[in-house]
Structure 1
């Protein structure tokens, strides 16, 4: 009896101590924390749970926007984190900081590729190491190098168009969004390893390309666990084992091992005349002398993960927006089809001058960024001032991309698709803060491959607009068959995982009509004869996206 009483007393005391500790933590975070004066929900100021739930359920982008709409341009989204929406905050957080250390990525961030043999790729490298790698890799994305890469891009874009033509002649349904994914993976495979994935040839994703996408789903859960449990703690390790399936590690290993194998094979064939990234590295002394073989392998894996599904997602959003805005579509078609004599003229030197096409892609990126999640940074030692608020070292800060680009503080009618704002056409757009939309980031960690991404997207878009008429499939127009974004959620069931990507309201059902010779079109009510050199017949194709 005494032992039972002692055990019960001990359990009661332990429970009371835990409750007391939690209560003290709540009081400290709410009333004595350095961020106590920042606006935001009470629950967020004392707990990581609301922000974590939003992250792992794929709703962070819309949740943070709702918070900013309610509380203003600065919101305390968790006990130690502030979210911002202004252009000034973006520069202060992600830009080069004069007279102080730059803000580095939060430790909760988990890249698509981790460290190997104590080495990392450019994305995870810190300070001087990041600068060294970025300088060595920068040549790959210069204008000179991009022009050399163009032949690789055009090869796969032409293959995409040819596939669509064949499907059109067979009256075969086409999943356009998936085909954007296929062409993106084949382009990056060819640029990284001189060997495409083969997605266009087989008309489907491969095990490897599927693993690349799944890595980001697993990383979302890992970040959520790190928010709640800390980084490198026993609790993080235990929770990861309980919630994240073992298969997640296989996805990461599949991507990394395949990348290492393909890179090693390409490095061993250094004399091959193929204008891929490794060819450029071997020919460019600074890159060859500055990067170890391991760093080259890690960066090739990084480029595959960063430059594939992101491009496909953007093109999906772009297709939806131009197809649901007739005036935009008409002007865009007129610009593209009046710029070339035939498809062979659709080269980067010409496409880069299509200003309205560029504006439509910028506007699609503003409304439908490939990743709407916040990229967290940590205030360095010595503290920093953001938006006039002094923040002590260790504070987490970020700009919410979705909230920023859809804020009326930054854009006129922010929820509307208006490419004209990027051309400053119309007084209503005079005060638009275009710098609030930076889907590729800014500052020293701006996406190193952004120029390649713009090149690929504009070449794909120009070829499709030249070859096909596009329209939303009216039979499916009002159905909620939506595009998948990058934020994700995962439901675990013992040994199996059910993945579900976050849905964003972008329809992927379009009709394509292949254009024949001497095609006419209506542009703003005026018939314009567009002299299009076409050799094959007119066919209609439907791109019907099945529910994911």
Structure 2
């Protein structure tokens, strides 16, 4: 027994000594010792991990930038850059003599089958091959093919909302749920070949629910990789608090596999070319193919990327419009004066509405779908970023929310003002640094679904505002301040009142006429 006590004491003393030496090294001898940042964050990753797990990571990083400037040390081995030039220097294409900054895999998680998808491809060669295949499904030509399918789901979405508005006499509706329903229904049909019928059943499919719930577990899972000495303890905590989510995540992945297998068994898609159609077409080109495992891991990721982020943007647009009545009136007027019926609303025509795009850009700025920075690793030999030499092995990123909410880049950064994005928006915004806004990232690994995402946002938002008058319910004021942010936003219900914008004669009713 005495031996065990002595061994335990020895281990404890060793760990304490290791911690003390780590603190001294990180603060006074580490290659990043001269970069500004708080003492605690420069010596241990615990402050960052704590904020990340609590869902306050964006606020944590913003506070550090506001205090220390455009370059700040947010962890012993990590720097955050709030600078326009950093976008291309971190995420942009590089010459053959300069290796790319690859993903910091402590932050990212691979698929359940252990095979990297497009986002976490470990090498540029694997990423380039996968992207060449998958990008065919998100090309301009593919976008035209997808429009009838998306239109049909948006029309069903409107019908369901209309039924609800009539049966409840315009009472409260959680619009966030319905944005989830329409975006996941469309993406599951496009990727898996069949919808999960959320709109049809007016409820979440279990697969969709677990995808949304998993966002909360992501930071805890990543923490074990950031803090390897505490990994066993963190894994026990994760199993205790997220056992049900992790179990349902395994089951949902298997369901996704079955959907892909079922679609592959069919030689042809339905009425419209889908994701698998484009993957099959790529096989006709030499050396362009995905393994079955790569197809599995990419499919589930594409559904999540094309649904959760979009519903986040739609709910953000809706909230900020209803909380800012001048902006709401301007946009509804632009939409209703441009189209005399819902059937006239199309991708091409919506792209010509300047205030609609201004509202979307301002929503991306004030509430970006991915609020944190997407970390990359500086290769051996180091790199120059924003005029600073950064040693190899350093993790670097540009944080979306902290950068877009900075007075260094925008006038009144915490105010929702779509006019700043209009041509000739006025002297007030002449010094706004709009190039900092990169919600789809930049470089060879930027979001390949950008065109589809913008088309979906415009279509769903425009048709909703054309058909319905909306108002924010009392309990939803300050909704944007109640959200936690992990790798994506943990959205809380957004309660709105809905009523038809049309009278018995098919003419638009003013808000006064509706009362």
TM-score between both structures, scaled by the size of structure 2? 0.91
- In 1, distance between residues paired with 2:305 and 2:439? 13
Structure 1 residue 503 displacement after superposition: 6.4
The correspondence for 2:132, drawn from 118, 135, 160, is 135
Q: Any idea what the Cα deviations from partners look like across 1:361-398, whole Å, max 9, x if unmatched?
A: 11111111122122111001221111222111111111
Q: For the structure 1 residues 481 and 16, does the alpha-carbon distance in structure 2 shift closer, same or farther, using more than 3 Å as the test?
A: closer
Structure 1 residue 399 displacement after superposition: 1.3
Structure 1 residue 440 displacement after superposition: 1.8
Q: Is the 8 A contact 1:481 1:508 kept in 2?
A: no
In structure 1, list runs of 5 or more residues that go unmatched.
490-500, 528-537, 541-548
Aligned to 1:437: 437
Q: Is the 8 A contact 1:115 1:121 kept in 2?
A: no
Q: Is the 8 A contact 1:363 1:417 kept in 2?
A: yes
Q: Is the 8 A contact 2:370 2:487 kept in 1?
A: no
After superposition, residues 258-273 of structure 1 pair within 5 angstroms as: 258-273=255-270
In structure 2, list runs of 5 or more residues that go unmatched.
none
- In 2, distance between residues paired with 1:183 and 1:348? 17
Q: Are residues 1:398 and 2:394 paired?
A: no
Q: Any idea what the Cα deviations from partners look like across 1:172-219, whole Å, max 9, x if unmatched?
A: 542211110111110111111221111111111111111111222222
Q: For the structure 1 residues 380 and 114, does the alpha-carbon distance in structure 2 shift closer, same or farther, using more than 3 Å as the test?
A: farther
Q: Are residues 1:372 and 2:371 paired?
A: yes
Q: For the structure 1 residues 300 and 488, does the alpha-carbon distance in structure 2 shift closer, same or farther, using more than 3 Å as the test?
A: closer
- In 2, distance between residues paired with 1:64 and 1:243? 25
The correspondence for 1:518, drawn from 499, 507, 510, is 507
- In 2, distance between residues paired with 1:95 and 1:488? 21
Aligned to 2:168: 171
TM-score between both structures, scaled by the size of structure 1? 0.86
Q: Is the 8 A contact 2:110 2:116 kept in 1?
A: no
Greater fraction helix: 2
After superposition, residues 87-166 of structure 1 pair within 5 angstroms as: 87-98=84-95, 99-111=97-109, 113-116=111-114, 119-125=115-121, 126-166=123-163
Q: Are residues 1:39 and 2:74 paired?
A: no
Q: Is the 8 A contact 1:52 1:228 kept in 2?
A: no
Q: For the structure 1 residues 165 and 13, does the alpha-carbon distance in structure 2 shift closer, same or farther, using more than 3 Å as the test?
A: closer
Q: Any idea what the Cα deviations from partners look like across 1:123-168, whole Å, max 9, x if unmatched?
A: 2212100001101111111111101001111111000111111122
Greater fraction strand: 1
After superposition, residues 457-476 of structure 1 pair within 5 angstroms as: 457-473=457-473, 475-476=474-475
Aligned to 2:67: 70
Say which SS state the counterpart of residue 227 (structure 2) adopts: helix
How many pairs were matched up?
Answer: 503
RMSD: 2.5
Q: Is the 8 A contact 1:336 1:466 kept in 2?
A: yes
- In 2, distance between residues paired with 1:287 and 1:357? 42
Say which SS state the counterpart of residue 328 (structure 2) adopts: helix
Deviates more, 1:49-58 or 1:97-106: 97-106
After superposition, residues 307-326 of structure 1 pair within 5 angstroms as: 307-326=306-325
Q: For the structure 1 residues 250 and 15, does the alpha-carbon distance in structure 2 shift closer, same or farther, using more than 3 Å as the test?
A: closer
